[in-house]
Amino acid sequence: MANLLLEDVEYKTQETNTGVWRRYAYIDGSSYHEFTSHIRIFGIPLLHYTCGKNPETARRVTARGIIAIGRFACGVIAIGHASFGLVAVGQLAIGIIIGLGQLSTGLAAVGQVAIAGYLGLGQFAASYAAIGQFGLGKYVLAQLGHGKFVWSTNRSDLEAIEFFKSLPVVRAFVG
Domain span at 110: 103-175
Residue 97 lies in a domain: no
Which pLDDT does position 9 carry in this prediction?
A: 83
Same domain, 7 and 52: yes
Give residue-wise pLDDT tens across range 33-82.
999 999 999 999 999 999 999 998 889 999 999 999 999 999 999 999 99
**Same-domain pairing of 64 and 127:** no
Distance (Å) of CA 148 to CA 32, 38, 61, 141: 51, 51, 45, 11
What would the pLDDT profile of 136-163 be if each residue is shown by its tens digit?
999 999 999 999 999 999 999 999 999 9
CA distance 41 to 58: 29
pLDDT of residue 113: 98
**Whether the Cβ atoms of residue 105 and residue 99 lie closer than 8 Å to each other:** yes
Q: What is the pTM of this model?
A: 0.88
| Residues 64, 129 within the same domain | no
Residues 74 and 145 in one domain: no
What one-character-per-residue DSSP string does 36-53 give? EES-EETTEESEEEEESB
Residues 62, 10 within the same domain: yes
Residue 65 and residue 117 in one domain: no
Q: What is the mean pLDDT of the chain?
A: 93
- Give domain status of residue 126, yes or no: yes
The letter for the amino acid at 92 is L
